[in-house]
Structures are given as C-alpha cells and as structure tokens.
Structure 1
Amino acid sequence: VYAGRVSFDSLTLQLSLHSVQTNDSGLYVLQGVTPKVRAEITLSVQEPITNVSLTASKTDLVEFNDSVLFTCSAYGTPLAFSWYKGSSVVTAGVNVQLSNDGSVLTISNVTRYDMGPFTCVVANNISNGTSRSIYLNISYGPSNLTMTVLPEKMGYISGSNITLSCSADSSPPALFYWSYNDISLNKTGQTLQLLNASQNKTGTYACTAHNTVTLRYATNSLLIAVNDVPIFNMSFMLTCEVMGPVDSVYWMKDSLYLYSDSKISLSNQNKTLSFSQLGLADDGKYQCVASNIVSNKTSMAYTLAVNYGPWNVSISGPAIAQKDSSITLNCSASSHPPSGYSWYFNGSRVAEGAVYETGPLSLNSSGEYTCIAHNNITGNNGSVTAVPSTVVGVGELEHIMLQCMLGAVVQCIVKRAHINRKLKHICGPDRIV
C-alpha cells in the first residue's frame, strides 16, 4: 500500500508520505526501544468538495396538504451538510427533519412561510461548496377574508351609492363571488357597487373567495340597511340588525339613552326605532347596542340629518338701476340639502344658480324677477318675486331718488307720466302726488 510512497529518517525520526490517499487516514505511532519513547498522531486525508447537487421531490405544493423532501449530494470527504432558506439557517423542528447524516431535509405539511430559495452547503476542513437554489411554489388560502363598505355607515338613505369590497390572502389570487340574502347575484370580482340603492336593497351581502388550486373557500358577509329618506314632518324608521342570540337591545342618540315618548316608539324587541313625525331636533348620531350574557356590541353610528325646505326664500338686490349698468341679484333659502335655484324674468327662465348677474340693462329690463328654489330630496319648491325693478336714465333717476328718499308724503312735479307710474311701483302710490 505504501510501496514507493513512504520514507523514514532515523536521525530526525521523520516519516514522509508521498501522494497521500484518503485511505492513508488513520493513527500513526512512533515507538522507540532505546531510548524508550512513544509518540502518535492522527492523520486525516480529505478530498476537496465538488459537484454539490440538490434535488427536491416536488416544488409545486399545497399548504397543509403536501410535504417535500430535499436531497443534497457532493463529492469529497468527509461531508458536513447545512441547510439555508434564503440567508436563514434551517434547523430541525416539529415539521422539519434532518436525516442521512444531514444530507436529507424533509418538511412536512408545508405552509406559505416555507416558500423561498432553499440551498445546501457542503463543507470539510479544506473546502466547501454550495448547491443551486430550489424555490418552493406553495399555493395557499383563501384566508384572512375581509369585507369592507364605503362609505362606512350604520345605514344608508335611498338613492345612496354603496361600494362593497372583498380581499383575501391567497396564492394564486382568489376568485370572488357575490350573493344577496343567500341568492347568487351572478357577479364576480373584488367589488360590488349598489348604485342609487333603494330600501328593497336592504339585506345581507356575502362575498365568497375561491382558490382554484387549493380548492378551498372562504365567506364573509355584511348587513346593508337602506332606509327611506328622512324628510321633515314625515315618519321614519331605523332598524338594528343583530346576528346571534341577543338578550336586550337599546338605542342611543349622541351617546344618550333613548326612551319611547310621543314622537318615537320602540318595537320588535327594541330592534326598531320609529319616528312618527320628524323634526329638526331629531338630527344626530344614532346607535343601537345589543347584548347577551357573554358580550355586547355597539353598532356604527347612523347620522340622521332631516331633509327640509326650501323655506323663507328671499331675494336681495337693488330695486332701481341705471340704464346700461349691470346688477347682481342673490337668492337664498333655508334648506337641507341646499336648494337649487332658477331665475325667471317676466315668466321666462333666464339663469340657474343662487346668484344672477344681469348684463347691461335697457329700459326693457324693467319687470318682475322671480327666483324659484328647489330641493331635490324633499321634492318641494319655494319662490319669491322681486319688487318690480325699474330701469331709468340719469336725469330720471334724480327725480325718483328724491321721491323715495323722503320719509313723508312729498309733493313734486313729475313731468313725464311714465316716470310717475314707475314711482308708484317703487315708492308706493301713497307717496306720489
């Protein structure tokens, strides 16, 4: 075995091995008789690490269903194996086993957190090597299904636009299906829009997420309550929808308890709050609280804003204007929501909006200016007609202003009959002689 590869120097007691081989590893002993001496050394001959290889039993897996077995191999002696996921060391644990002197890594019942590049590193005292990376593709979900609604309210008035959205953790991305009161809407996608919602849209909306690879489903639901529009002097009703067993329900307005009285009543085990005739004092934030022996829940606040008007419609602006000038007329009304305004001159529509700015006036611009206020929610109108406006020339304006500035009956000579008629309109017939 050692022929031609070994030499011994008796003077220095040096043993030399040439062209060492791995089977030269072992315990070497020097034994001396005269003088009596003994020395020993253990020699380890190692081969450099080469051809590090990594294989996996499968790379496309389903969370909680599948397991994977990694096998690492290399040339060289001896071999020490270590495992990495990304830059983190992988060690044995509940679902992770190392076997066959560390060359085999088994992960049982993989989870989404096992995704990542796996590598093995093989080393000895003289060299090391790293395998290629293997990435696990793990399908999971749907989980953490959430359902949101915008705007977020306890209840909605008829005509509201409502958007429902659904999201879930899922790979590949989940498909979403919508239902209303357990009946499919034949709608797919992450959002569902209820446009111009009416009271018959009140009910439970459910979103179901489906993963076509894991074959798993998840469902979440929300109750959407659409009420009639609250209008002054009309009846109105709020409903507290409760899921699960309930022992008691009570109502609060602006954080104060509500009780039945001549205007409001409670029915249906206090789940229904009814107003016989809405007034402006009923504006506020309403909540219902449901409780049982183990817990209690408070609803989101419903902001009640009573719609009314238009009331007290009025016009402000000059009653007299000089020819070729322009005037601005303003219309206002007490109304919720704010009224829309239309302007009419002698019965013909001339403008929209609360402010009406005329162009250069002529003598033909004298007449009746009417503002009509309209509330689209209450469906009511209110109107007012301005004091007949008069357009005059500069000289005529001096006479008219003299007549109207004096507080008592004034006697003056008005040379032109049509000016006299205008003064009777503007100042009143008892002010003109």
Structure 2
Amino acid sequence: MKHGLDGLPYFYLLFLLHPGILQGLDSMNSGEVVYIQVQAKGVVGGSVKLECGLTLPDFYIWGYTAPGTENMHAVAYSFLQGTKLQALTKTLGNLSITTDTASLWIDQLPLVAQGLYTYQAFYKNTFQGDTFIYCYVQLFVLVPVSKPYILVSNTSLVEGTPMWMRCVLENGTEPVNYTWEQEDRDGFITKVAESNINQVNITFVNRNHTGRYRCQATNEVNRQYSDHIWLEVLFGPDVPLIDVTPHSVTEQGYSVFEKTTVSLTCQASSNPPSQYTWFYSNSQVHTGQQYNITSILRVNSGLYSCLAQNFILKTYLNSTVTIFVYYLPDGSPTCNIFPINNYTDLALWCLWEGGYPPASLHWSSHLLNPNVKASSPTNITVIQPGARTPHNSTFTCHGSHVVSPTSYICSTTACT
C-alpha cells in the first residue's frame, strides 16, 4: 500500500450518512427501497474501496457517471452467472469486486476515475420480502502537490522598489495552502507568510529582505518544499560615519595632538559594500576605508571628507569633519617688570606666543594680593604696588598648555 508524506494511506472513505446505516441493511422492512449517499476520496495512483453494504446481495449493478455529464455507464454487475466487468473499467483503473460485499475496489487510481458511482442491489429475503438499495458514491480523486518552484519578479532588487514571489505548482488538488520561509545571512529562519494564495507581494523592499527563500505547498494529501532561491537587495550607501582616533571632541570638531598618528575610519552601510575616497580641503588624499596620518602636523588642520560610493547603483554620499591640531608655543614664557605710574608701581608682564590653542599664563608670588586671580592666554600683565615690593623681590610666571602635562615658567626680579 502506498503512503503519503504524512504517513497516511493513499485511500480513505468519508461517509456522509448516519453511523450504522450499512449495518442496518440486515433489518430492512419488506419491500423497502433504501437510498444511500456516500462520499469517497482516493489519491492518484493509490487504491480506494467503494462500498454500500456489509452483505452480499443476490444481484447488483455498478454504474459510473463522469463529471459534467448525465449519462450513466455500467461498470460491473452480477446476475445469475456471477460478476461481469464492463469494458469501461479499463479506463477507470484496475477494478475488482469483493466477493463478500460486492464492494468496488479500484487500484492504480487514475484522475479520470473521479465521478459519481451508482450501486443498485437486490436482496431477496425469504422471510421479510425483497429489499432494493440505491447507493450513490461520489468519488473524488486527489492529486498530491508536486514539488513547487519559485518565480520572482527580480532576484537583484533595489531597496524601496516593489517585488513579488510566486510559488508555482504543476499539479495538486485544491485547496492548497502556501507557506513562505526566509533564512537570513546568519541562518535564522522566519515564516514570512502563510495563505491559500501562491503569491507574496512586497510594496517596498528593504535590506532585511536579503536572504534565502523557499515555499511549501500543502494540500490534504501531502506537502512539498521548493528549492531555495537567493534574493539580493541592493541599497546605500547610508550617510557615512567618520571616527577619529585618538581624539577629543570640541564644539567645532575633533582635536588631536601634533606629531601623533591619527586614524580616520569611514563606515557607510551599503550593498554592494561602499568604496571610500578621502579628501582634505577638497583634494583627494586617499582611497580606502581607513586613512592614517603619521605624525600629524599643525599644517594638517582642516576639513576631512569621506565619500562613500555604491558603484552598482551609481549612488554616493559624503560626510565631513574638522580636525584641529593642537601644538605647543615655541620655547618658554618670557617675563619682565616695567615701572609705571611715575615709577611708583610695577607692571609684571609675561608673554608666551604661538601654539594652538593659546597657552594659559598666571603670576605667582607671596607678595601678590591673594584676591587677584589673574590668568590669561598668550600674555598677561599684573600691577604690583611699589610700596609693597621689597628690593630684589622675585615673581614667577607659569605657562601651561593642553598638549603637555609639564608647566613652563619664567622668573623676574624687581630692583626697587
């Protein structure tokens, strides 16, 4: 006996009448005509049994009416001289009659065997009279679903465009249910859709639709999977993201120290992957995702742009960052004392020019007014009263810069 994918036999009988009606044939009243309606289902190439009683009648006749017609043709009968099969049986499969109940058995069931089978039987009852049976068996021949295949509007898709996928069957009795599965790049499988419609429509394709797809077709006989197809979604580039290492972030951009090695990395999601070009002050300086500047100098401050391109889609986007190179002023601070206010007071003057950003300067001495917290970039002047300044008093100017942890100083002595 053949079996389907679910382990079910390729024939089964569905009765649409009250249970026990066949068993009740033995107790029919004299002269009664009994009408029975039965529905049977079989699978192409399998076997099916059409039965209308549990005992063998005195004589019977099986007839067949093709779908869409009204003419009934004899299939088999028994009258006096035993069972006779008609020529029509050769087109309906391998037919035989069971000897105990006169049921009709069909092997190697063809699709053309579908139709209405009529069973007329006569039971001669010595004690209760004669009984006639009219039995109508509607046979449905089911076709297993064949292995489906997938048709796609386009296997190379552009993000944002529409597409459709169709699960195509050569054979299979309706109703058929269709299930779609997607396997992404990481091997994760998700169910995309399930419906009795064999087509999936996507209005706006996005990058997450990239992956392997297959469909499953299922009817009441069996289920079959299609082969996988690969869908590639082209997209991008997205807006490039630029990372600068090492760096500090300022309101204006990135700051780096002079003579350090600086790496600029550009990332823009794209399929196919982005191609990168670097520009400094609108001049091309490098090709590739990462641009390294060895021992960066103050003259390298400025605008750096990364251009990301998708050569298949002929699309591109760019991003720009500003890099400020921090460097020390040359040498050390210069300090001096000048008389002012008709030589009655002293001006403490300190200068440390150059550098970026400007250095921070401040004076220190035990003679200075503690309430004076003078601090200034590049240059600083503090007024010291001469009356409170002993002869040979020393004052120190301190210079500091973000580039160096070291403090730079200069000292000057007042001769009063």
Give TM-score, length-normalised by structure 2: 0.51
Task: Find 1:168's aligned residue among 244, 249, 268.
Answer: 268
Contact 2:236 2:269 in 1 (8 A): yes
Structure 1 residue 235 corresponds to structure 2 residue 353 = yes
CA shift digits 1:263-291 (9 cap, x unpaired): 32xxxxxxxxx3427965746xxxxxxxx
Contact 1:232 1:279 in 2 (8 A): no
Q: CA deviation at 1:130?
A: 1.7
Structure 1 residue 187 corresponds to structure 2 residue 286 = yes
Contact 2:193 2:200 in 1 (8 A): no
Gaps (5+ residues) in structure 2?
1-63, 65-74, 76-87, 123-129, 184-188, 250-254, 334-351, 359-371, 381-395, 410-416
Task: Provide the identity percentage.
Answer: 21
Task: Find 1:59's aligned residue among 155, 178, 188.
Answer: 155
Larger radius of gyration: 2
CA shift digits 1:38-95 (9 cap, x unpaired): 9877643212333432232321222223524434223232343222213322217xxx
Counterpart-to-counterpart distance in 2, 1:178 and 1:193 = 11
CA shift digits 1:174-202 (9 cap, x unpaired): 11122234x13242111223333332322
SS of the residue 1:113 aligns to: helix
Q: CA deviation at 1:225?
A: 0.5
Residue 320 (structure 1) aligns with: none
Which amino acid in 2 is paired with 1:129?
A: Q
CA shift digits 1:314-333 (9 cap, x unpaired): xxxxxxxxxxxxxxxxxxxx
SS of the residue 1:160 aligns to: coil
After superposition, the Cα gap between the structure-2 partners of 1:156 and 1:90, relative to the gap in structure 1 and judged at 3 Å, is closer
Structure 1 residue 80 corresponds to structure 2 residue 180 = no
Structure 1 residue 90 corresponds to structure 2 residue 192 = yes
Q: Residues 312-323 of structure 1 correspond to what in structure 2 (within 5 A)? A: none
Structure 1 residue 263 corresponds to structure 2 residue 375 = yes
Contact 1:232 1:306 in 2 (8 A): no
Residue 226 (structure 1) aligns with: 325
Give TM-score, length-normalised by structure 1: 0.49
Contact 1:263 1:276 in 2 (8 A): no
Contact 1:161 1:193 in 2 (8 A): yes
Residue 214 (structure 2) aligns with: 119
Higher helix fraction: Structure 1 or Structure 2?
1
| Aligned residue pairs, count | 256
- Bigger drift between 1-10 and 200-209 goes to 1-10
Counterpart-to-counterpart distance in 2, 1:159 and 1:307 = 20
Contact 2:147 2:225 in 1 (8 A): no
Task: Find 2:303's aligned residue among 190, 204, 212.
Answer: 204
Counterpart-to-counterpart distance in 2, 1:105 and 1:84 = 11
Q: Residues 229-378 of structure 1 correspond to what in structure 2 (within 5 A)? A: 229-230=328-329, 232-233=332-333, 234-235=352-353, 262-264=374-376, 274-276=377-379, 282=400, 305-306=405-406, 308=408
After superposition, the Cα gap between the structure-2 partners of 1:30 and 1:262, relative to the gap in structure 1 and judged at 3 Å, is farther
SS of the residue 1:200 aligns to: helix
Structure 1 residue 158 corresponds to structure 2 residue 255 = no
Q: Residues 347-426 of structure 1 correspond to what in structure 2 (within 5 A)? A: none
After superposition, the Cα gap between the structure-2 partners of 1:27 and 1:281, relative to the gap in structure 1 and judged at 3 Å, is farther
Counterpart-to-counterpart distance in 1, 2:298 and 2:229 = 56
SS of the residue 1:48 aligns to: coil
